Amino acid sequence: MKSFLSFLLAVLFAITIQAQSRIVSGPMLGPVELRDAKVWVEVSPEVRTVSLQYNKKGDAKSRIIVYKGELGKEFNPIQFTIGGLDFNTTYQYKIWLNGKATAAGGEFTTKDLWQWRKPVPDFSFLTGSCSYFNEPVYDRPGTPYGKDSSIFETMAKERSAFMLWLGDAWYTREVDYYSEWGLWCRASKDRATPILQNFLKSMPQLATWDDHDYGPNDIGKNYILKETSRKIFNSYFCNPSSGENGEGIYTMTSWGDADIFLTDDRWWRSADRMKDSIDGKPNPEKRMLGKQQMEWLKNSLLYSNATFKIVTVGSQVLNPVSPFDKWKDFPVEYQELMDFLKEYKINGVLFLTGDRHHSEIIKVERPGTYPLYDVTVSPLTSGTHTFGTAEKNNPYRVFGLDEEQNYGKFSFNGTRGNRKLTVEFIGVRGEKLGEWSISEKELKTP
């Protein structure tokens, strides 16, 4: 009788565990390359085993990858790398929990091997910044800061190569700032928002951060939980790499004839209130990217043969009249990059930024060479900003969009030598709010 009761209790326990085991969020696609792909998912603490089953679309033969890392923690974000894939091939995948298949899954198509074989491909990617989901008990009183999150349903219907998050993919609150548990909880909770889920698996997701998904508002290298924050970011996004020597999160990706450099504007950032100049001379101690990252960026730009070289930064770069944080407020480092671009005649450079809660394109002329542009895309779901004071009639602005939620769509088209980049600003329901384009010839040193 005792053995039967023990057996019965064991069966009931197993049934309970199985019932409680669930996917918290995801799956989400990470980078998809020619021969491998990354898939991310977060599971509940009760899950004992997680596997990923995949197969070529239309092929009944499948393979299974068993996750061999640690499980059972309060927060369990995990990543799978699927290797040995064929290029330009569509695969299907499904997540298994505790040895049983779930309904969670999706599909992806590996990149095509076009180099030396085919014309440069036309493609597009999506981008945007500032994603806020309301949580009234911890939000500041008054009008909710988070707006219409159905924008992610619209974005999920796009057929683009990938999504590039420009920072503030989630917003830490006062209760999170100095709590390791709070930082983990914020990333996990916001990532699990139901309306996000279809978008996360619809295309590969890549990201850089800004202050709110790094820590408190406007903070930089002095943040005492920066190591925890870096670990969390790398646990909730599966970028191609994450800085060097265990520092920073900068990385890059390449698609078609565009190289995209995702910089880190927080890890080495001096306090914004540090003086720009001392005794009338620019302050060399005030830096945003830091020496290690700047060396990487310079070498990466020199190495790149891409038609378009897009430098992504959480903060704006060029806007001379902005009253808020921008790279131009770090004059020694900013001028170092400007001089480098001109000296080495680096062609095809544009800046892509977020943060500002409005979208705009800033143009700055450079005597003797082509002008630089800073394309800002913001916000996805957070509160919007209205152009005012010196920015109301900004003479450097060639396109402006305020008081509107929006995302950006960057499209690359044309034959080799005549490539064109078109930027569309798109609203919550998919309506086009603005468009701007530039040819590769307009981004070349005379």
Residue with structure tokens 């008990």? 137
Of 33-37, 268-272, 277-281, the least confident: 277-281
> Residues 144-160: what's their mean pLDDT?
98
**Average of per-residue pLDDT across 156-169:** 98
Average pLDDT over residues 186-191: 98
Residue 446 has pLDDT above 60, yes or no: yes
Average pLDDT over residues 330-351: 98
One-letter amino acid of 266:
R
d(CA 317, CA 374): 7
Instruction: Provide the pLDDT for residue 13.
Output: 39
- Round the average pLDDT of the chain to a whole number and report it: 95
pTM of the model: 0.95
Assess whether pLDDT exceeds 50 at residue 15. no
123-443: which CATH topology? Purple Acid Phosphatase; chain A, domain 2 (3.60.21)
Q: Identify the pLDDT of residue 1.
A: 55
pLDDT band of residue 8 (cuts 50, 70, 90) is very low
Three-state SS letters, the chain: CHHHHHHHHHHHHHHHHHHHCCEEEEEEEEEECCCCEEEEEEECCCCCCEEEEEEECCCCCCEEEECCCCCCCCCEEEEEEECCCCCCCEEEEEEEECCEEEEEEEEEECCCCCCCCCCCCCEEEEEECCCCCCCCCCCCCCCCCCCCCCHHHHHHCCCCCCEEECCCCCCCCCCCCCCHHHHHHHHHHHHCCHHHHHHHHHCCEEECCCHHHHCCCCCCCCCCCHHHHHHHHHHHCCCCCCCECCECCCEEEEECCEEEEECCCCCCCCCCCCCCEECCEECCCCCCCCHHHHHHHHHHHHHCCCCEEEEEECCECCCCCCCCCEHHHCHHHHHHHHHHHHHCCCCCEEEEECCCCCEEEEEEEECCEEEEEEEECCCCCCCCCCCCHHHCCCCCEEEEECCCCCEEEEEEECCCCCCEEEEEEECCCCCEEEEEEEEHHHHCCC
Cα distance between residue 346 and residue 367, in whole Å: 15
Residue 133: C-alpha distances to residues 172, 173, 383 (Å): 11, 11, 11
Confidence of residue 237 (pLDDT cuts 50, 70, 90): very high
pLDDT in tens, 276-327: 999 889 999 999 999 999 999 999 999 999 999 999 999 999 999 998 889 9
For residue range 103-120, what is the model confidence (pLDDT) as tens digits? 999 999 999 999 999 999
Supply the pLDDT for residue 28. Answer: 99
Residue-level pLDDT at 19: 57
Please say if the pLDDT value at position 18 is more than 70. Answer: no
Q: Is the pLDDT score of 364 beyond 80?
A: yes
Question: Percentage of the chain with pLDDT > 70?
Answer: 96
pLDDT, greater one: 3 or 401: 401
Answer yes or no: are the C-beta atoms of 28 and 193 closer than 8 Å: no
Chain center to CA of 109: 20
Residue 329 has pLDDT above 80, yes or no: yes
Domain boundaries, given as residue ranges, for the chain: 22-109, 123-443
Q: How confident is the model at residue 341 (pLDDT cuts 50, 70, 90)?
A: very high
- How confident is the model over 50-57, as a mean pLDDT? 98
Residue 161's pLDDT band, with cuts at 50, 70 and 90, is very high
Average pLDDT estimate for 348-376: 98
CATH superfamily of 22-109: Immunoglobulins (2.60.40.10)
Per-residue pLDDT, averaged over 239-252, amounts to: 98
